[in-house]
């Protein structure tokens, strides 16, 4: 695995390692107040980033250009802002990070749609 796919997969694995550790910590403490943030870390971090990684791995031509790089930046940036933002929102603090992370995460999915559409609309090469 190379390129953008590699970076997406590494970020996904890092997210699930943190998510699993956090889940164990919450369980051991018997305090699940932050379960919503933990769930978003696992879903957006592990699942979504992994799907992106495997798409780019299976369709290597989709990694070309600026669009996939922007997709990677938005996806990771969104996750990095979203999860602590949800923690802050659950604690009744400022929701700015959660909002910014949500918008970046949504933007990353829209960028992924553009990548998939761009790739799917290319004319197949004949041998």
Domain for residue 112, yes or no? yes
Domain for residue 126, yes or no? no
Domain for residue 127, yes or no? no
This prediction has a pTM of 0.91
Asked if residue 123 has pLDDT above 80, the reply is: no
Span 99-110, average pLDDT: 98
**Taking all residues of the chain, what is their mean pLDDT, rounded to a whole number?**
95
**Burial profile 23-43: b = 16 or more Cβ within 10 angstroms, e = fewer:** beeeeeeeeeebeebbebbbe
Domain for residue 23, yes or no? yes
Domain for residue 125, yes or no? no
Alpha-helical (H) ranges within the chain are 3-29, 35-40, 49-58, 66-90, 96-120
Q: Residue 39 belongs to what domain range?
A: 3-120
Band of pLDDT at residue 1, cut at 50, 70 and 90: confident
Distance, in Å, from the CA atom of 94 to the CA atom of 85, rounded to the nearest integer, reads 8
Domain for residue 84, yes or no? yes
Domain for residue 100, yes or no? yes
Span 40-44, average pLDDT: 96
The number of folded domains in the chain is 1
Band of pLDDT at residue 125, cut at 50, 70 and 90: low
Domain for residue 55, yes or no? yes
Supply 71's token pair: 């997709």
């Amino acid at each position: 695995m190379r390129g953008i796919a590699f970076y997406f997969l590494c970020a996904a694995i890092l997210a699930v390692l943190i998510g699993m550790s956090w889940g164990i910590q919450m369980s051991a403490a018997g305090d699940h107040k932050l379960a919503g943030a933990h769930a978003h870390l696992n879903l957006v971090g592990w699942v979504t980033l992994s799907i992106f990684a495997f798409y780019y791995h299976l369709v290597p031509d989709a990694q070309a250009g600026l669009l996939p790089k922007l997709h990677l930046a938005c996806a990771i940036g969104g996750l990095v802002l979203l999860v602590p933002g949800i923690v802050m929102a659950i604690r009744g603090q400022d929701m700015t990070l959660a909002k910014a992370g949500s918008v970046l995460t949504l933007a990353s999915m829209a960028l992924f749609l553009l990548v998939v559409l761009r790739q799917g609309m290319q004319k197949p090469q004949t041998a």
